[in-house]
C-alpha cells in the first residue's frame, strides 16, 4: 500500500493484512487461489460492528444425536457425542469486526483477540475517523 501525502500509519496488524492510517483503513486478504484488497476512506465509514459467530448446525446435530441415542438405547455414547459436539460448538466460535461504508465492507476475523482488545481497536478506528472528518471540515471552512 502506497501512502498519500501527509498520510501516516496509525495501527497495523502483525501480518500487515489490516492497516489503519490517518486517511483510510486497508485490508488485504489471501484465500484459496484469490486475493482481495479493500480500502475505505475514513470519512466514508458508516458503521463498525462486532459480533460472535457460532456454528449452530452443531447444536442441531447434538440434538439429533441425543434423540437417536435415547431411541437406540446407547445413552452413554449419546451423552459423550453430545458433549463433544457442544464443546466443538463453543470452541469454534469466531469473533468478527465489520467496518462498513456505503460501497464496501471490511470483515476482520479477530482470532484470539480478547473483548477489551477488540473494543480498543474499534475505538481507535472511530477516533481516527473523527479526527479525519474534523480535519476535512476545518480545511473547508
What whole-number distance in Å separates Cα of residue 95 and Cα of residue 49? 11
* pTM flag (> 0.85): no
One pLDDT digit (tens) per residue for the chain, 141 residues: 899 999 999 999 888 899 999 999 999 988 778 889 999 999 999 999 998 888 888 888 888 888 888 777 778 888 888 888 888 888 888 899 999 999 999 999 888 788 899 999 999 999 999 999 998 888 776
> What's the pLDDT score for residue 141?
66
What one-character-per-residue DSSP string does 56-85 give? THHHHHHHHHHHHHHHHT-HHHHHHHHHHH
What value does the CA radius of gyration of the chain take, rounded to a whole number of Å? 22
Q: Are 32 and 88 in contact (CB under 8 A)?
A: no
Give backbone dihedrals phi and psi of 132, rounded to 5 degrees, phi first.
-65, -50
Amino acid at each position: 500500500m502506497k501512502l498519500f501525502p501527509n498520510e501516516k500509519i496509525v495501527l497495523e496488524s502483525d501480518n500487515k493484512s489490516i492497516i489503519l492510517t490517518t486517511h483510510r483503513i486497508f485490508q488485504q486478504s489471501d484465500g484459496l487461489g484469490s486475493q482481495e484488497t479493500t480500502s475505505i476512506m475514513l470519512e466514508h465509514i458508516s458503521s463498525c460492528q462486532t459480533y460472535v459467530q457460532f456454528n449452530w448446525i452443531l447444536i442441531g446435530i447434538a440434538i439429533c444425536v441425543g434423540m437417536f441415542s435415547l431411541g437406540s438405547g446407547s445413552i452413554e455414547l449419546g451423552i459423550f457425542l453430545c458433549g463433544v459436539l457442544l464443546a466443538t460448538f463453543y470452541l469454534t466460535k469466531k469473533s468478527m469486526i465489520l467496518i462498513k461504508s456505503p460501497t464496501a465492507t471490511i470483515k476482520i476475523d479477530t482470532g484470539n483477540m480478547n473483548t477489551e482488545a477488540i473494543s480498543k481497536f474499534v475505538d481507535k478506528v472511530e477516533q481516527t475517523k473523527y479526527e479525519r472528518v474534523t480535519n476535512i471540515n476545518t480545511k473547508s471552512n
